[in-house]
C-alpha cells in the first residue's frame, strides 16, 4: 500500500535534516497537536465534485494512521497534506497546529474536524444584493461585517449571537453565505444535526472541540443551521431523542465565547417557538425572514428568469400575483424550474403561459399543507 512516493510522502526525520536547509541548523520542532479538516480532491470530473464525506470511526486509530504517513513533515496552519494511502491525493487542510509551525512526530495527536456540510465562503459568489428583501437581517449583517473588520472598537457592545427564523426557503442560509462572501473572514458552517454524537458524551465532545477550533480562528463567523433539530425545548425532545448534552454544551460554549473578541454566532431555525428557552434567551436578537411580498416575488422571479437557458414569454407580474405564500425557493425551484423542465420534455423553445400551469397545482397542494 505504501509504495507511492512523492514530494509529499513521508520522509524520515533524518532525511529531512539532510535535504532541507543547513543540516546543522535544521531543528525538529515536534507538534503536540494537529487539527485537520477534509478539503477534498483538487479536481472535479465533468463538473461533478467527487469528494467523499469523511467521518472518523476511531479517533485514536485515525491519529495513528495519519502520523504513520506524514511523520517528519513540517506543517503550519492553512497547509495541505495529501493522503497517500486510503484516498490517494485527497487533501486535508491544517486548521491548527501546536506550536504553530512544527513537525509531525510519532507523539503528535492528529484529529479531524468534521467537514462543514458546505463551506459558503469558498463557494459561488453570493453578495447581499443577491438576497431579495430581508432588509433588517441585511442591516444586522452589515454591523457584523463592521465588527469583524474592527473587533476592538465594539467591546461589550459587539454583535454576538443572532437568530434568523422564518419559513423554509426564505433565504436564511443564503444570507449567511452572502455574509461569508462579503466579509471574506473565516466562516464555520455547521448543520446542527452533525453535532449529535453516537454515544453518550460524544455530542458534547464534538461541540467543545468545534468551539476550540473556532476560538483559534477568530475573527470568525459561526453559522449553526437548522438549530431546532437539536435545540428543541426539553418537552419536545422525545420526538428527536435526547440531545440535552448537546444543548447544554452549546449553551456553555456560547457563554465562554462571550469574552472572545471577534466571534459571532448566527443560528437559523424554522420554528423558534420550539427552541429550548435557555438556548433561545442567549440570542441578543431574533430576526424574522418573512415570505416575500408581491414586489419581492416579482424581483425574485425576474432575477432567476434572467438566468434561465430559455426565453420566457409568460407574464411574470401575473405569476407574482398568483404565487402569494410562495418562498424564494418555491419560486426558483418549483415555479421556474418546473416550467423549464416541462418545456424541455415537450420540445418547446420558450417558456409560455402553458408551461406555468403547475403553479396552480402547487398552490392547491400548499393550501392543503402537503407542502409547507
Ligand X SMILES: Nc1ncnc2c1ncn2[C@@H]1O[C@H](COP(=O)(O)OP(=O)(O)OP(=O)(O)O)[C@@H](O)[C@H]1O
Helix pair angle (244-257, 202-216), 10° resolution: 20
Among 49, 52, 99, 168, binds ligand X (CB under 6 A): 168
The least distance separating Mg ion from the CB of residue 194, rounded to whole angstroms, comes to 14
Render 18-48 in DSSP notation, one character per residue.
HHSS-TTT----B-SEEEEEEEE-S--BTTB
Q: Which does 355 bind (CB under 5 to 8 A by kind): Mg ion, ligand X, none?
A: none
Of the candidates 230, 259, 268, 227, which has an alpha carbon nearest to the alpha carbon of residue 246? 230
Between 151 and 193, name the residue whose CB sits nearer to Mg ion: 193
**Do 70 and 85 meet the contact criterion of CB atoms below 8 Å apart?**
no
The least distance separating ligand X from the CB of residue 304, rounded to whole angstroms, comes to 7
**Contacts (CB under 5 A) with Mg ion, residues 143-172:** 172
Between 211 and 326, name the residue whose CB sits nearer to ligand X: 326
Burial class, 182, CB count within 10 angstroms (exposed 0-12 / middle 13-18 / buried 19+): buried
In angstroms, rounded to a whole number, what is the distance separating the alpha carbons of residues 164 and 275? 13
**Do 252 and 146 meet the contact criterion of CB atoms below 8 Å apart?**
no
Between 259 and 273, name the residue whose CB sits nearer to Mg ion: 273
Q: Does 159 bind ligand X (CB under 6 A)?
A: no
User: Residues in contact with ligand X, total (CB under 6 A)?
Assistant: 18
Q: Does 194 bind ligand X (CB under 6 A)?
A: no
Q: Does 269 bind Mg ion (CB under 5 A)?
A: no
Q: Does 173 bind ligand X (CB under 6 A)?
A: yes
Between 19 and 271, name the residue whose CB sits nearer to Mg ion: 271
**Do 261 and 303 meet the contact criterion of CB atoms below 8 Å apart?**
no
The least distance separating ligand X from the CB of residue 303, rounded to whole angstroms, comes to 6
**Contacts (CB under 5 A) with Mg ion, residues 170-189:** 172-173
Cell of 181: 462572501
C-alpha distances in Å from residue 240, one per residue of 228, 231, 244, 246, 282: 10, 10, 11, 13, 22
Intra-chain end-to-end CA distance of the chain, in Å: 51
The least distance separating ligand X from the CB of residue 137, rounded to whole angstroms, comes to 10
Between 72 and 171, name the residue whose CB sits nearer to ligand X: 171
**Contacts (CB under 6 A) with ligand X, residues 320-339:** 328-329, 332
The least distance separating Mg ion from the CB of residue 270, rounded to whole angstroms, comes to 9
Among 115, 169, 203, 231, binds ligand X (CB under 6 A): 169
Among 75, 132, 246, 250, binds ligand X (CB under 6 A): 132
Q: Which stretch binds ligand X (CB under 6 A): 13-21, 65-73, 132-140, 209-217?
A: 132-140
Q: How many helices (H) and strands (E) does the chain have?
A: 13, 11
Question: What b/e string do you get for 232-259 counting C-beta neighbours within 10 Å, with b at 16 or more?
Answer: bbeeeeeeeeebebbbbbbbebbeebee
Between 186 and 330, name the residue whose CB sits nearer to ligand X: 330
Give the footprint of Mg ion on this chain (CB under 5 A).
172-173
Amino acid at each position: 500500500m505504501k509504495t507511492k512516493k512523492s514530494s509529499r510522502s513521508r520522509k524520515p526525520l533524518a532525511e529531512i535534516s539532510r535535504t532541507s536547509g543547513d543540516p546543522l541548523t535544521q531543528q525538529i520542532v515536534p507538534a503536540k497537536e494537529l487539527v485537520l479538516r477534509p478539503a477534498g480532491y483538487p479536481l472535479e470530473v465533468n463538473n461533478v465534485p467527487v469528494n467523499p464525506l469523511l467521518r472518523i470511526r476511531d479517533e485514536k486509530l485515525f491519529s495513528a494512521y495519519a502520523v504513520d504517513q506524514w511523520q517528519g513533515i513540517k506543517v503550519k496552519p492553512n497547509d495541505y497534506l495529501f493522503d497517500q494511502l486510503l484516498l490517494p491525493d485527497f487533501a486535508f487542510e491544517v486548521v491548527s497546529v501546536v506550536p504553530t509551525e512544527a513537525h509531525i512526530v510519532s507523539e503528535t495527536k492528529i484529529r479531524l474536524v468534521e467537514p462543514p456540510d458546505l463551506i459558503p465562503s469558498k463557494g459561488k459568489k453570493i453578495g447581499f444584493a443577491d438576497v431579495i428583501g430581508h432588509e433588517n437581517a441585511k442591516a444586522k449583517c452589515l454591523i457584523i461585517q463592521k465588527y469583524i473588520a474592527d473587533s476592538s472598537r465594539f467591546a461589550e457592545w459587539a454583535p454576538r449571537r443572532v437568530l434568523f427564523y422564518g419559513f423554509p426557503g426564505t433565504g436564511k442560509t443564503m444570507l449567511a453565505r452572502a455574509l461569508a462572501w462579503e466579509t471574506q473572514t473565516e466562516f464555520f458552517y455547521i448543520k446542527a444535526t452533525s453535532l449529535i454524537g453516537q454515544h453518550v458524551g460524544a455530542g458534547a465532545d464534538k461541540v467543545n472541540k468545534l468551539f476550540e477550533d473556532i476560538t483559534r480562528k477568530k475573527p470568525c463567523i459561526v453559522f449553526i443551521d437548522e438549530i431546532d433539530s437539536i435545540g428543541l425545548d426539553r418537552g419536545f425532545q422525545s420526538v428527536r431523542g435526547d440531545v440535552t448534552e448537546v444543548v447544554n454544551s452549546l449553551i456553555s460554549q456560547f457563554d465562554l465565547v462571550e469574552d472572545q473578541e471577534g466571534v459571532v454566532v448566527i443560528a437559523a431555525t424554522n420554528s423558534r417557538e420550539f427552541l429550548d428557552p435557555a438556548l433561545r434567551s442567549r440570542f441578543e436578537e431574533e430576526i424574522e425572514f418573512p415570505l416575500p411580498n408581491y414586489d419581492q416575488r416579482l424581483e425574485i422571479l425576474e432575477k432567476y428568469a434572467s438566468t434561465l437557458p430559455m426565453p420566457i414569454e409568460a407574464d411574470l407580474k401575473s405569476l407574482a400575483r398568483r404565487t402569494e405564500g410562495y418562498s424564494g425557493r418555491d419560486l426558483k425551484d418549483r415555479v421556474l424550474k418546473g416550467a423549464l423542465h416541462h418545456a424541455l420534455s415537450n420540445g418547446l423553445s420558450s417558456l409560455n403561459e402553458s408551461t406555468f400551469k403547475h403553479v396552480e397545482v402547487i398552490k392547491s397542494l400548499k393550501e392543503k399543507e402537503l407542502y409547507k
